[in-house]
Structure 1
């Protein structure tokens, strides 16, 4: 039972990180209707921003997280204005190529500034907490709590505020939203900013236990794509459910099967579920 509970906690840790990244990705998908490959680069940029603020400028962990969130939000909005907005009437393939270009540009820029070495981010939460016979590093507990608080706040924002409702309306029908007076440009910038904040905070939460390096966003964004397909493209509840499913599957799979196959489990699970439910877990996207 102790080992089982340990894997539950590990699954919640992974699931929390995946949820945050997948939520940002699915919000942007609702606006562009194309997969944003640059989202993994924004995740990586958030970790490097926080690392720079902590190591070079002496910021504490929370101030560095806030600074990284603001920086990546601005970076995301800049990408939307300079790259995606001019392509809004172009074929979707152009958006995909442009997002890959942003990914390569940011990775090259990070390597030019900090090199290709791995870095360890300092955290004030290095304690080991014990719950009976179950042990959990304080940083992992922080990830679980922070991730679910952020998910709850995002849900409340989308469902209880007029601004959130405009994002949902835009994701459902861009032309219809414009007809009722919703400013498409404002909503698009706001959505990219929110996605950037979620990606940056996920990276800063996870970086102390996963290192900081230029390609750290590759595997995370690949699994985020698996999650949004699994949960239903454009579905916010689907992104949350899919993130938890993948997190638990990886945690229990690594323990009961082998750590060698941990990263394959997500894709096997995707094929299995889509074979039974091709539209994903939540067929009503953008809700």
Structure 2
């Protein structure tokens, strides 16, 4: 029983990271209606920027996370302004090709800048504590709590602010949003900034638990795509719940089945859920 609760806690940690990445991907899809394959590269850049801020600049862990979030948000906005805003949203193929090109560019740039070797981020919260008889690191608790706080803040932003209402309006009816005077360029920039910031936060929070390397975002973004398909394309509740479902399934599967099949569980869940509910767990649309 203790092993079960330990793995459930690990599943919450993994699911928190997946949900944050999938949230950003879902928001961008809600605006462009095209999956952003470069989102995993933003996740990777966030980890490297946080690591560099701590090692080269000597700043604290929290300041490093803030720097990573702001930097990646800026890169994400540049990506939207320089590339995606110049492409026809009605033709998804050029946008998908451009996103893949950005992914390869950022990975190559990271490898040139930081090297291809694996690196580890040292956290001030690496100590272990006892909770109801379970031994957990403070960093894992921090990931879960920080993810929930970010999700709540995102919900409040989307439901309580004019910009958030504009994002929801754009995702639900693009033409209708134009007719009521919503500035599509500003909404797109804000959406990309939020998505990049969430990816960077997820990477900086999980980097002390995992290793940092140039291709670290590839597997994460593949699972994020699985999550948003499972949850319903463009659905924020679907991205959150789908992330935690996958995190739990991977953690329990690696323990009770085999670690060799851990990364296959995502695709098994994808086939299973889409067989039972082809539209995903939630209706389409940012909510």
TM-score, structure 2 normalization: 0.98
CA separation in 2, counterparts of 1:129 and 1:149?
22
Query: What is the DSSP-based 3-state SS (H/G/I as helix, E as strand, rest coil) of the residue aligned with 1:182?
Result: coil
CA separation in 2, counterparts of 1:89 and 1:54?
39
- Segments of 4+ moved more than 4 angstroms: none
In structure 2, the residue matched to 1:80 is 80
1:170-202 alpha-carbon deviations (Å, 9 max, x no partner): 111111101100000000000000001000000
Please show how residues 1-287 of structure 1 align to structure 2 within 5 Å: 1-89=1-89, 91-287=91-287
CA separation in 2, counterparts of 1:284 and 1:122?
40
Structure 1 alignment gaps of length 5 or more: none
Q: 1:133 offset after TM fit, Å?
A: 2.2
Q: 1:40 offset after TM fit, Å?
A: 0.2
Contact 2:11/2:250 (CA < 8 Å) preserved in 1? yes
Q: 1:72 offset after TM fit, Å?
A: 0.2
Aligned length: 287
Query: What is the DSSP-based 3-state SS (H/G/I as helix, E as strand, rest coil) of the residue aligned with 1:209?
Result: coil
Query: What is the DSSP-based 3-state SS (H/G/I as helix, E as strand, rest coil) of the residue aligned with 1:210?
Result: coil
Contact 2:32/2:89 (CA < 8 Å) preserved in 1? no
Q: 1:151 offset after TM fit, Å?
A: 0.7
Q: Which deviates the most, 203-212 or 86-95?
A: 86-95
CA separation in 1, counterparts of 2:286 and 2:57?
40
Q: 1:89 offset after TM fit, Å?
A: 4.4
Relative distance call for 1:89 and 1:271 in structure 2 (3 A) is closer
Q: 1:132 offset after TM fit, Å?
A: 3.1
CA separation in 1, counterparts of 2:156 and 2:38?
27
Q: 1:7 offset after TM fit, Å?
A: 1.2
